[in-house]
Amino acid sequence: MSSQDSILITGGGGMLGHALADIFAARGQTAVALARNQLDVANESALQNAFATYRPTLVFNCAAHTKVDLCEQESAKADAVNGYAVGMLAGLCRDNGARLVHISTDFVFDGTSKRPYQPDDPVNPLGAYGRSKLLGETELRRNAPGQWLIIRTAWVYGRWGANFPRAIVQAARAGKPLTVVNDQIGSPTYAPDLAEAIVQLVHSGAEGVWHVTNSGQASWFDLAVATLQQFGITAQLTPISSEQWARIRPGSAARPAYSVLDIRAVTQRIGRPMRDWREGVADFHRAVQAHGF
Classify residue 107: in a domain, yes or no. yes
Q: Are 262 and 118 in contact (CB under 8 A)?
A: yes
Classify residue 227: in a domain, yes or no. no
Taking only the tens place, the pLDDT of each residue in 138-192 is: 999 999 999 999 999 999 999 988 899 999 999 999 998 899 999 999 999 999 9
Alpha carbons 258 and 109: distance in angstroms, whole number = 9
Output the average pLDDT for the chain.
95
Classify residue 59: in a domain, yes or no. yes
Domain count, the chain: 1
The whole-number pLDDT of residue 293 equals: 78
Full domain range(s) for residue 25: 7-163+187-216+259-276
**Catalytic positions, please?**
129
Question: Which of these ranges, 121-125, 155-159, 241-245, 289-293, has the smallest mean pLDDT?
Answer: 289-293
Exposure pattern of 259-270 as b/e (b: 16+ CB <10 Å)?
bbbebebbeebb
Taking only the tens place, the pLDDT of each residue in 33-65 is: 999 999 999 999 999 999 999 999 999 999 999
CATH assignment of the domain containing 131: 3.40.50.720
Q: Are 207 and 1 in contact (CB under 8 A)?
A: no
Classify residue 49: in a domain, yes or no. yes
Classify residue 172: in a domain, yes or no. no
Task: Please enumerate in sequence order all residues whose Cβ is within 8 A of that of 43, keeping only pairs 6 or more positions apart, or say none.
Answer: none
The whole-number pLDDT of residue 248 equals: 86
Classify residue 203: in a domain, yes or no. yes
Classify residue 181: in a domain, yes or no. no
Classify residue 134: in a domain, yes or no. yes
Q: What is the largest CA-CA distance in the chain?
A: 55
